[in-house]
Amino acid sequence: MTLAAFNSHGEAEALKLRLVAAGSSAAIQSESKPEAHAEYSRLSAGVQVQVSRADFEAALKVVFDWNAAKEMERTIPEPLGPAPNGSAAYRASGASSAA
């Protein structure tokens, strides 16, 4: 069964490796075909990750968890740098916040 489709082999390979590490068997099938109805030739989601019917639900959970982790990476802001006023390093330098 097709679990996911990608535009590149690298993206599909990353998912396949995660599935195998989680104990599911997975295969990559490439069907790079130009879109017949497009005015220009373009490849579209022609690399599929396939799993057996028996592994489908477990594999779907791997995909869900992976997507959730990627979403967390996008929504967690970068760490802030040190605060210029009131920080321990600022106070240790002898500077005063009260002028």
Break the chain into its structural domains and give their ranges. 2-75
Dig out the tokens for 73 from the structure: 């990476």
Which pLDDT score is estimated for 49? 95
Residue 84, Cα to own-chain centre: how many angstroms? 35
Which pLDDT score is estimated for 71? 81
Instruction: Give me the sheet containing 2-6, strands edge to edge.
Output: 2-6, 47-51, 26-30
Residues of the chain with pLDDT under 70: 32-45, 76, 78, 80, 83-99
The rounded percent of the chain whose pLDDT value lies above 70 is 63
Residues pairing with 27 in the sheet: 50
Tell me the per-residue pLDDT of 19-47, one tens digit each, with 9 for 90 and over. 999 999 999 998 755 555 555 545 566 89
Residue 50, Cα to own-chain centre: how many angstroms? 18
Residue 88: what residue type?
A
pTM recorded for the entire structure: 0.61
Which of 3.30.70, 2.60.40, 1.10.287, 2.60.120 would CATH assign to domain 2-75?
3.30.70
CA dist 26 and 34 (Å) reads: 25
